[in-house]
């Protein structure tokens, strides 16, 4: 099973690339996000690979980041999502959009993807809920005055609430809501207290 390929980028097509590895050309299907991060043709590149074997073919799916590969693995386990649709989802939505859609239970985000109907969108939100905690958010996941600081405080506040026994999805919704609406300097203790008040009311 191929899990990683390092070679010379030989050709870039709309949905795939050709990677020259020791004189052998491997066709690798990629998301638009991965393709956009590739170097120029003729330069060395490393792709994390998920191999899909069937009786009539062997397909390689390549990802610039392990996080994107992990998302792909989770997506194809959802009933109704094949390899091609999983690539389409990851090409249409950023990882942060996908994570936020699941944590906030916003199936309408998935419904924006061609090939994903309302029922499948709802199934994606439900079935990915228990898996999405493996995928960390980064600074693009929140808005505010200072994304780098907000991202760190978001992660710290959510972790504290999880340690207190709250679900990550509920904690994320409360904390991100506070960060996005606050016009004051952020303070971790204040955020946690505010989230606890809202969680106790909603609980």
Do 84 and 47 share a structural domain? no
0.85 exceeded by pTM: no
Do 59 and 12 share a structural domain? yes
- Mark which of 63, 78, 98 sits at the end of a domain: 63
pLDDT of residue 3: 92
pLDDT of residue 133: 61
pLDDT in tens, the chain (203 residues): 889 999 999 999 999 999 999 999 999 999 999 999 999 999 999 999 999 998 888 999 999 999 899 999 999 999 999 999 999 999 999 887 888 788 778 898 898 899 999 999 999 999 998 787 666 554 344 444 444 446 677 778 888 888 898 887 778 778 877 877 776 667 888 888 888 988 887 65
The terminus-to-terminus CA distance of the chain in angstroms comes to 46
Number of domains comprising the chain: 3
Do 160 and 116 share a structural domain? no
Determine the structural domain holding residue 17 and report its residue range: 4-63
Cβ count within 10 A of residue 45? 20
CA distances from 46 to 34, 53, 71 (A): 11, 21, 18
Do 126 and 74 share a structural domain? yes
pLDDT of residue 139: 37
- Mark which of 109, 134, 159 sits at the end of a domain: 134
Q: 3-class SS at 177? A: helix
Do 84 and 115 share a structural domain? yes
């Amino acid at each position: 099973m191929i899990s990683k390929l390092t070679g010379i980028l030989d050709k870039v097509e709309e949905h795939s690339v050709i990677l020259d590895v020791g004189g052998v050309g491997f066709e690798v299907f990629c998301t638009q996000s991965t393709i956009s991060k590739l170097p120029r043709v003729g330069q060395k590149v490393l792709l994390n690979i998920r191999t899909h074997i069937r009786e009539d073919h062997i397909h390689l799916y390549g990802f610039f980041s392990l996080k994107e590969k992990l998302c792909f693995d989770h997506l194809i386990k959802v009933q109704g999502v094949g390899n091609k649709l999983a690539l389409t989802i990851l090409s249409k939505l950023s990882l942060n959009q996908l994570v936020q859609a699941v944590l906030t239970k916003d199936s309408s985000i998935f419904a924006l993807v061609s090939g994903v109907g309302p029922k499948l969108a709802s199934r994606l939100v439900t079935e990915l809920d228990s898996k999405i905690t493996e995928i960390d958010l980064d600074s693009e996941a929140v808005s505010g005055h200072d994304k780098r600081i907000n991202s760190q405080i978001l992660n710290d506040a959510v972790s504290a609430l999880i340690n207190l026994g709250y679900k990550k999805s509920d904690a994320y919704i409360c904390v991100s809501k506070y960060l996005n609406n606050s016009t004051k300097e952020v303070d971790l203790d204040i955020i946690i207290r505010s989230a606890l008040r809202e969680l106790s009311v909603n609980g």
